[in-house]
Amino acid sequence: MIEFLMPSLGADMEDGTLVEWRKKPGDFLNRGDIIADVDTQKGLIEIEVFEEGVLEKLLVEEGLKVPVGTILALINPDGIAGKKSKGQPMDEKVPIQQPIEETRPVSFEEQNSETKRIKASPLAKRIAEAERIDLSSISGTGENGAITKEDVENAIATREGVAEMEKPKGIKMEIAGEPEKGKAGTEQVGMEQLKEAVPEKKPMGTVPPVEAIRSAVAAAMSKSNREIPHYYLEKKIDMSKSLSWLKEANSERPVQKRLLPAALLIKAVALAVDEVPALNAVWENGLQLKNEINIGFVVSLRTGGIMVPAIHQADAKSVDEIMEVLNDVIPRARALKLRSSELSDSTITITNIGEGSADKVFGVIYPPQVAIIGFGGISEEPFAENGLLGIRPIVHVTLAGDHRATDGLTGSRFLGALNKYLQNPETL
């Protein structure tokens, strides 16, 4: 049985309000499905599920505000993505009465590393799916331990026996039993305090107030400035080649497919980071490199505050694909309708101050990341090259690095690689 937890959508998130369940018990969940809407300081977030299986039970009622790490639901893993749970027969369901004591935050990485392909006959799988039987809970008696039709039928018989005895006991009673009307624990909530999760009557689907976003930004940035010793580097990059490449590329594209310089810059950063992987990392008990390059892209909200959606695996995406992601994600970020993976997965951040504004931006690293890249507006400047002075479109690129994790040399190598890609835009 997989415990589906209230995810952490950033280092600063401590709790979230379960606004709406999008799935009901019995529904089959595919990886990437939206399972619920959760209200956080950063808005109403669509929470994705990262396991396949059948939604077994919902443990948190709509409207409840619970700390990060609280078990929200139980998922019965199915064949392909099933999590191995050896020696846990069908009738030993996770006791939902005391989820709180047993809560242990399990990261998704941890769960994935435990997944194992379940060997079952095609017929057994077909029956199990129809009957909503969790294949991971069955030990097979077929060839090499494969699960057979008979094994599934036995499991169905056992389940029917158990269902007879089991009485419906909802979490509803549990939490309602400790009504502690008032403010929910917003201070560092430890696991022992999870019990104090208090139902907070809140109108569903409301956009969080400006102050909430402001305070989320405040918390993250304060933590960053408090804990991260930043170093700063800057490089002037000639954008004439990139811009003329873009102009030519756009001449062949319909208006809605046109590329903005931001898409090119994101791709260039992704490739440059690939060459300097120490910057694509988090600092959590030491430097931990990340495998995927997920670029967080700062989106400023009109009402103030920022959102930083992730562009997943930007190094593997074409410039056109990145542009498509931007077109999709920026309006959603502004509408405070992002998905959980978009909020929590980024491994390095870009802040792009945009046309006609400041020349340079020196970013504040979003913890636990170790670097932020800042692009100023592109503007014409005198530029010397090969002994000649010319007027060129110039962008000032800055890098703020976590000096615990890397040194100026690393950052410098990154800026060099970035320049190389922007001088050869056809390679992007």
Partner 1 sequence: MEASNTIKITYREALKQSLREALQKDDRVFLMGEDVGRYGGAFAVSKGLLEEFGEERIMDVPLSESGFVGAGIGAAMAGMKPIVEVMTINFGLLPMDQIINNAATLLHMSGGQLNVPVVIRMGCGIGRQLAAQHSHSWEPFYAHVPGLVVLSVGTHEDARGMLAAALESPDPVIIFEYTSMLNMEMEIAKDVPELGISKAKVRREGNDISIITYGTGVHKCMEAAAELARGGIDAEVIDLRVLRPLDEETFLASVAKTHQALVVEDAWCSVGFSAEIISRIMEKAFYELDAPVKRLCGVEVPIPYPLHLEEASVPQVKDIVNSVQKTLKP
Which of 141, 206 has the CB closer to partner 1? 141
The residue written with tokens 């059948």 in the block is 54
Min. distance of Cβ 122 from partner 1 in angstroms? 5
Which of 57, 125 has the CB closer to partner 1? 125
On the CB side of 394, CA atoms within 13 Å amount to 17
Min. distance of Cβ 125 from partner 1 in angstroms? 8
Write the burial class of residue 108 (CB in 10 Å: 0-12 exposed, 13-18 middle, 19+ buried): middle
Min. distance of Cβ 130 from partner 1 in angstroms? 11
Task: State the Cα angle at 340 between 214 and 33, rounded to 5°.
Answer: 150
Q: What are phi and psi of 38, to 5 degrees?
A: -125, 135
Partnered with residue 385 across adjacent β-strands are 388
Q: Retrieve residue 9's tokens.
A: 């959508």
Between the two ends of the chain, the Cα-to-Cα distance in Å is: 43
Which of 124, 197 has the CB closer to partner 1? 124
Which of 144, 188 has the CB closer to partner 1? 144
CA distance 343 to 336: 11
Min. distance of Cβ 126 from partner 1 in angstroms? 5
Contacting residues for 11 by C-beta, under 8 A, at least 6 apart: 220, 223, 366, 367, 368
Which of 121, 410 has the CB closer to partner 1? 121
Residues lying near partner 1 in the complex (CB under 8 A) are found at: 121-126, 141-144, 146, 148-150
Min. distance of Cβ 144 from partner 1 in angstroms? 8
Which of 150, 355 has the CB closer to partner 1? 150
Min. distance of Cβ 142 from partner 1 in angstroms? 6
